[in-house]
Amino acid sequence: MENNYQRFSLKVQDYIKFRPDYPEQMLEKLEEQLNLDNRKIIADIGSGTGLSSKPFLEHHYTVYAVEPNDEMRKAAEAIYKDSENFISVNGASENTTLEDSSVDVIFSAQAFHWFDLPKTKIEFERILKPGGHIVLVWNERDASSPLLNDYEKALYDNISEYKFVNHKNIDEEKIKAFFSPKKVGYMELDHQQWFDLEGFKGRARSSSYTPRSGALYDKIMHELEQIFNRYQTSGLVDFRYKTKIYFC
């Protein structure tokens, strides 16, 4: 399996165009639960193209965006080049390069399942201020959607790697162990995207496990087009998520 840091190097443009952001109410809920305001310093670990930094930056938080993949990090730097509160950091979860006790909140979206957990826990304890918080977030496809069940089946049946890298392999017991001795808090929010056919295919292409070309790529895209045509209304499909938020 290729180096996890480089998995998304050739996926950047699809990632920017087709990956979901996060529900508008997510930050408001976190502020209520964790007593946050924009004087708090955020470390966004595995920040990618900056989708996960966006809600904090829009509310004037200072964000240290820690990302090991050069292409993803450069894309975020271009997107947020005019934001004084966006600080790009070439680092990884187990070696952020941030100073001891320097951040109030460690936030990580769609990334925890890639981490070396023992090393990452040590690093998070090092950089987090006393009384600080950790927040882990996933946009998980809504299992109640027939469209997304068919989408899931197309990936599972065609991509052997999918079952190993799918973030659903992370369970609450691993999160509980990572947060220990603190207790795990949990929230779940609804979220969605609307896609035309190109967007629906692009959403699949943005995933690290989807092939970029070749016979298997063509087969997957053909199956996705069939699924799209089965469920589309006025040329669009509703791609729904449950945004799962774990915090301590």
Strand segments, DSSP code E, in 90-167 are 103-109, 128-141
For residue 2, pLDDT over 50 is answered with: no
Under a CB-based contact definition with an 8 Å cutoff, are residues 159 and 202 in contact? no
Task: Report the candidate in 11, 4, 23, 82 with the shortest Cα–Cα distance to residue 49.
Answer: 11
* pLDDT value at residue 1: 30
CA–CA gap between residue 138 and residue 132 (Å, rounded): 21
| 202 inside domain | no
Tokens 């979220």 identify what position? Answer: 191
| 216 inside domain | no
**pTM for the whole thing?**
0.90
CB-based contacts of 63: which residues, under 8 Å, 6+ apart? Answer: 42, 43, 44, 47, 53, 56, 57, 85, 86, 87
| 159 inside domain | no
What CATH number is given to the structural domain containing 66?
A: 3.40.50.150
What is the identity of the amino acid at 219? K
| 204 inside domain | no
Looking at residue 198, what DSSP letter applies? H
Q: How many domains does the chain have?
A: 1
Check the CA dihedral 173-41-73-202 and report its sign: positive
Check the CA dihedral 151-156-159-164 and report its sign: positive
For residue 238, pLDDT over 90 is answered with: yes
* pLDDT value at residue 82: 97
Give the range among 53-57, 114-118, 190-194 with minimum mean pLDDT: 114-118
Give the range among 52-66, 87-101, 207-221 with minimum mean pLDDT: 207-221
CA–CA gap between residue 62 and residue 125 (Å, rounded): 20
Give the range among 4-8, 14-18, 221-225 with minimum mean pLDDT: 4-8
Range of the domain at 37: 4-143+167-193+241-247
What is the identity of the amino acid at 108? S
pLDDT tens profile 71-125:
999 999 999 999 999 999 999 999 999 999 999 999 999 999 889 999 999 999 9
Backbone angles phi, psi at 11, to 5 degrees: -110, 5
Two structure tokens written together for 133: 């918080």
